[in-house]
Amino acid sequence: MTLDVLDQQPLRLNLDEEQIEAIAWLMDHLPLSFRDAHCGPARRLLGWSIDDLSAVSGVTHQAIQRLELGAQLKAVSMQALSYAFEAEGLLFFPDHPPLWGKNCRGSTKDPRSRRDYHLLE
């Protein structure tokens, strides 16, 4: 690569309000990469107990136990768990174990902005 390629300014898009709203909607509805199979390995990677994860995520101890035994949780609960783990530097990809993100960060949004946050399990 030449230096002039490395020194270029970041791409700036001129988006109208409707395009910005469409992008925000898309970001809010992206499917999570975090799966039930990630929960136990991610907890162990961080050295967390179920109670530790419950305290950080807001998801109940019982719901986390059910998830780790293969039960399905509500989307808001899965988002809360994913957000808690990603805040600690973990990344998730389907069919792969949790990974340390190093200088990357996960894309899960803070679940507290969801309308259904009160339904957290």
pTM of the model: 0.74
Q: Which two tokens stand for residue 33?
A: 């990469």
pLDDT score recorded for residue 7: 59
pLDDT score recorded for residue 39: 96
The CA–CA distances, whole Å, from 46 to 4, 100, 113 equal 41, 10, 25
32-119 has which CATH code?
A: 1.10.260.40
How is the chain split into domains, by residue range? 32-119
The CA–CA distances, whole Å, from 49 to 45, 56, 63, 77 equal 11, 11, 14, 17
pLDDT score recorded for residue 104: 74
Q: Which residues of the chain have pLDDT under 70?
A: 1-8, 28-30
